[in-house]
Structure 1
């Protein structure tokens, strides 16, 4: 059925938390109220990526891009735009110096190449027919009837796809290891959707917006390596993604795309969902597999690797969500097409969750090798309030910082490793001059200490030691010897820890100390936090000749520690001050000194 207009409503978790479902229902009700429900199709999609401006509503064919939409705006969108043909200008996204833009003119999208996110924001993820209409399951059909398992692996080898979960291991090689195990009576395919990095939500958004791409890819892997069973391991904190996966699996089974004799072939493959309890360590392959088996999620020594001895000691292919989402498009468009994106050694695109001190936070997909400057300034729109860029933390608790001196470095596996960071699953947290690098490193160490399974001493003890040292430095009690201890303990953890969590846990401390040695020394030698974040080292005082006695600081103070007469300089009681900084932020006359 042809419609005159199509209205796409963002249905990702971020927009859902801002009443996107109510917007969708109000749009449907408004269309019925105007008796035009047969002329307009209203679709709830996955995440558009531009999370900073959500909830987003897009109207086709005009390409009108409405941002920060509220439920009460639905009537105006239907009545003015759809019925009267007059786009609602107050809701349209605009940029300085640009007319009005459809999505192709919005800076946030212009340097992006959407391969993994190709369907997110375009289709209804709960309708398999919309996925099929965009070449969905064509890759599975091609593999089953036009390609041998060796052909599939060769296509992946040509593509140069490397695992997007962190280590960047060649995908084709992992699949080949499992395929070559000939004496196994059972093999498995596993999707790692246990996304646990602070600030990361790439995998969740793919599963919410395009679940069939992962199901199709897992079925292709099953055919290639000789597996008949797949598991998706996803944390229980992702209810929307879980629900859409359940719907997608049921629909795929109904159409014969999962289950026995897929598409009438001799190949049978089915998928089961397993829920995780949110343990960060279960992002590690062997811990994840142990959890699926019903055991406590703790890493195991490797070798043997899961590819040859994994789930229930059977050969197992395990990839993360983003890796899986690349597979169908590689088979439909060809490995050479995919290899034409990115760099010589890092092919394709990478999805990042761009968060922190950035104007345009959201999901970003760019070709490998894109300079960090393009991501921060062209896509991300720069730093809010005119503040200076300080650094970006990539790779979450396992990564490190990239500083302003390296902002033009291409973002790929090799360059990040050279800088002392990692790609990780794709978290990218931007910091400005008001962030304390010691405090940031301390935050990540606290996270990994809490998430450590405790199985091996280097991680269990070393992580706690590193955190205690950073905590000591942040309170002005550090010594020069502490910097040497961080180096010694950190490198010991990297060499001796059992799994990747422990081996990479020191990275935030080691990386930040390498690039911001002066800031560490300021905490130790000067007993000063240059960013004014570490409360034990901060002191707020009133500059008498600047204070006009307006009393604004006193009214903002949550503990009433500021006193003074009207139009007379005020005074801060240091014994009561909790160093929250509210007085500093409130003063319009620069009369509060923070040092």
Structure 2
């Protein structure tokens, strides 16, 4: 009887295993012949995640989303039977679509300027600057803002309607300025869909905690009315009832200035009932954070805004469907919203005339580290990295030849050595080609006097401290990376541990709910990619010193 029971158990397991394999095999084949409308897969209506083999077969440009044209990650994509590939975020936010919808979303809107023919980018002329009080030399309150052109024809822009506003933002080519670089016009359009009775909200991510980044802080401190006006225009385009500005808890003076600006706007009739006399009701609220870096992630921010512990949510559902208080929500960056009024006043084509194609507009750059004059500066996108540093920051301490490496987009982006910096272009595509990212455009310069290994180790300590601990790869992986990196600082390791550290970073990257794990893995990957000889030299030196001590 025992033998029969074991045989029965084994047979059952075998049948279940074979059945599972056959089920997914036939389902995958069916996905190649069915459209979205007759797919029975609720979780992945486009046939599930795309593997590298199917990607090579079905898409001539396999690394771009067919909707937003942004770079794809294999583990976060879906496909249609026609071979188009999409981000999960595009699919989930747009809802059920079929092949026939692709042309609608991927076709440039009316008024889109022709492809750029410029070859020289920057410096930006003063008359083209959006943030004219970036350094606080003028009055930041309503009276001064009106003199600088803020709140000009705001009523007319609202009355032109949501379609006009979103179309102009699409024409401008504006991409998110918070790090992800998602097309803003498309993101805003996700909210324009038939209502189900729930109110819609706009949430401004002002929880600026990325080391090296302080652009949003300067906007809120010296030009708060640009953000308040941007909230009204963006909110009207989305049909939002109110905007919540979630500001970093340590930004006390900035929160104070923002609160004053909001109060002035209410007193002047620019916010509240019948905002700007447009017939549109819109409120703006301030909410101060409590010092957690993880709340910069949009769903963790929403959790914190609701009074819960700031931990990222599983997605889907995405905020565009279920956001703050369970209602449709768009979470966007301070700079992204603050530039919107000027774009709408001057026209999307004007903004698109700056920078390369798909990298349009002007951008705030933070430049810090080993430079003569640390600064925040507004410049044209696609300006060469070297020109940006030498023109506005006075150059590298000790001269350009004394440069060791640069972190180009905030602490979570991979560093690049001088040999790459010589020809690097400061825009989304230019830095992707350099195996790094524009991120928040916070440039951290390190000259040859820098202990590059110790600098990256210190960044990993930061991410270890700020991890919420929800995901095992992040919680455990970053802790181990931190321990290994500080041994690497002394050279107390074996050369084969470099490959172990690389593999560890790859096990963290892409295996967490939010991007904090990726942000911790990328600095380590950049270090190993470009400074592996430095790591090996330290290890060799450490072992030589140990041998000398033992021989003595």
Match of 2:476 in 1: 461
CA-to-aligned-CA distance 1:430-486 (integer Å, 9 cap, x gap): 000011221121011101000000000011111111111111111221112211111
Q: Distance in 1 between matches of 2:147 and 2:389?
A: 34
Match of 1:401 in 2: 415
Secondary structure of 2:190 counterpart: helix
Q: Does 1:360 align with 2:373?
A: yes
Greater displacement, 283-292 / 396-405: 396-405
Greater displacement, 115-124 / 376-385: 115-124
5+ long unaligned stretches in structure 2: 1-121
CA-to-aligned-CA distance 1:339-373 (integer Å, 9 cap, x gap): 00111111112212111100011112211111111
Superposed displacement of residue 527, structure 1: 2.6
Secondary structure of 2:339 counterpart: helix
Check whether the contact 1:187–1:228 (CA below 8 A) recurs between aligned residues.
yes
Match of 1:138 in 2: 152
Q: Distance in 1 between matches of 2:370 and 2:509?
A: 30
Check whether the contact 2:424–2:434 (CA below 8 A) recurs between aligned residues.
no
407, 418, 430: which one aligns with 1:415:
430
Secondary structure of 2:359 counterpart: coil
Correspondences of 1:145-184 after superposition (within 5 Å): 145=159, 147-184=160-197
Match of 1:206 in 2: 219
CA-to-aligned-CA distance 1:467-518 (integer Å, 9 cap, x gap): 1111111122111221111111111111211101112211101011101111
Q: Judging changes above 3 Å, is the alpha-carbon distance between structure 1 residues 495 and 236 closer, same or farther for their aligned structure 2 residues?
A: closer
Q: Distance in 2 between matches of 1:257 and 1:362?
A: 33
Q: Judging changes above 3 Å, is the alpha-carbon distance between structure 1 residues 528 and 369 closer, same or farther for their aligned structure 2 residues?
A: farther
Secondary structure of 1:174 counterpart: helix
Correspondences of 1:372-391 after superposition (within 5 Å): 372-386=385-399, 388-391=402-405
Aligned residues: 424
Check whether the contact 1:116–1:322 (CA below 8 A) recurs between aligned residues.
no
5+ long unaligned stretches in structure 1: 1-108, 530-535, 538-573, 575-595
Check whether the contact 1:413–1:422 (CA below 8 A) recurs between aligned residues.
yes
Match of 1:225 in 2: 238
Q: Does 1:240 align with 2:240?
A: no
Match of 1:41 in 2: none
Q: Does 1:274 align with 2:293?
A: no
CA-to-aligned-CA distance 1:234-259 (integer Å, 9 cap, x gap): 11211111111111011000111010
Normalising by structure 2, we get a TM-score of 0.74
Match of 2:70 in 1: none
Correspondences of 1:307-322 after superposition (within 5 Å): 307-322=320-335
510, 518, 529: which one aligns with 1:514:
529
Match of 2:199 in 1: 186
Q: Does 1:495 align with 2:510?
A: yes
Check whether the contact 1:459–1:493 (CA below 8 A) recurs between aligned residues.
yes
Correspondences of 1:104-115 after superposition (within 5 Å): 115=129
Q: Judging changes above 3 Å, is the alpha-carbon distance between structure 1 residues 253 and 528 closer, same or farther for their aligned structure 2 residues?
A: farther
Check whether the contact 2:234–2:337 (CA below 8 A) recurs between aligned residues.
no
Secondary structure of 1:462 counterpart: helix
Over aligned residues, Cα RMSD in angstroms?
Answer: 2.2
Q: Does 1:327 align with 2:347?
A: no
CA-to-aligned-CA distance 1:381-435 (integer Å, 9 cap, x gap): 1222457011111232311112211222111111222323222223211000011
Check whether the contact 2:155–2:277 (CA below 8 A) recurs between aligned residues.
no
Q: Judging changes above 3 Å, is the alpha-carbon distance between structure 1 residues 282 and 132 closer, same or farther for their aligned structure 2 residues?
A: same
Q: Distance in 2 between matches of 1:212 and 1:395?
A: 26
Normalising by structure 1, we get a TM-score of 0.68
Secondary structure of 1:505 counterpart: helix
Check whether the contact 1:522–1:528 (CA below 8 A) recurs between aligned residues.
no
CA-to-aligned-CA distance 1:124-170 (integer Å, 9 cap, x gap): 4542122122221125223223x110111100000000000001000
Q: Distance in 2 between matches of 1:439 and 1:430?
A: 15
CA-to-aligned-CA distance 1:27-70 (integer Å, 9 cap, x gap): xxxxxxxxxxxxxxxxxxxxxxxxxxxxxxxxxxxxxxxxxxxx
Secondary structure of 1:447 counterpart: helix
Check whether the contact 1:181–1:315 (CA below 8 A) recurs between aligned residues.
no
Check whether the contact 1:309–1:315 (CA below 8 A) recurs between aligned residues.
yes
Correspondences of 1:576-587 after superposition (within 5 Å): none
Q: Distance in 2 between matches of 1:406 and 1:116?
A: 30
Q: Distance in 2 between matches of 1:123 and 1:388?
A: 34
Q: Judging changes above 3 Å, is the alpha-carbon distance between structure 1 residues 241 and 528 closer, same or farther for their aligned structure 2 residues?
A: farther
Check whether the contact 1:234–1:274 (CA below 8 A) recurs between aligned residues.
yes
Match of 1:439 in 2: 454
Check whether the contact 1:184–1:315 (CA below 8 A) recurs between aligned residues.
no
Match of 1:117 in 2: 131
CA-to-aligned-CA distance 1:204-227 (integer Å, 9 cap, x gap): 011011001011111111111111
Q: Does 1:250 align with 2:263?
A: yes
Secondary structure of 1:398 counterpart: coil
Q: Does 1:479 align with 2:479?
A: no
Secondary structure of 1:397 counterpart: coil
Match of 2:441 in 1: 426
309, 312, 318: which one aligns with 1:305:
318
Q: Judging changes above 3 Å, is the alpha-carbon distance between structure 1 residues 125 and 307 closer, same or farther for their aligned structure 2 residues?
A: farther
Check whether the contact 2:273–2:282 (CA below 8 A) recurs between aligned residues.
yes
124, 129, 134: which one aligns with 2:143:
129
Match of 2:37 in 1: none
Superposed displacement of residue 380, structure 1: 1.7
CA-to-aligned-CA distance 1:527-554 (integer Å, 9 cap, x gap): 399xxxxxx99xxxxxxxxxxxxxxxxx
Superposed displacement of residue 520, structure 1: 1.2
Q: Does 1:523 align with 2:546?
A: no
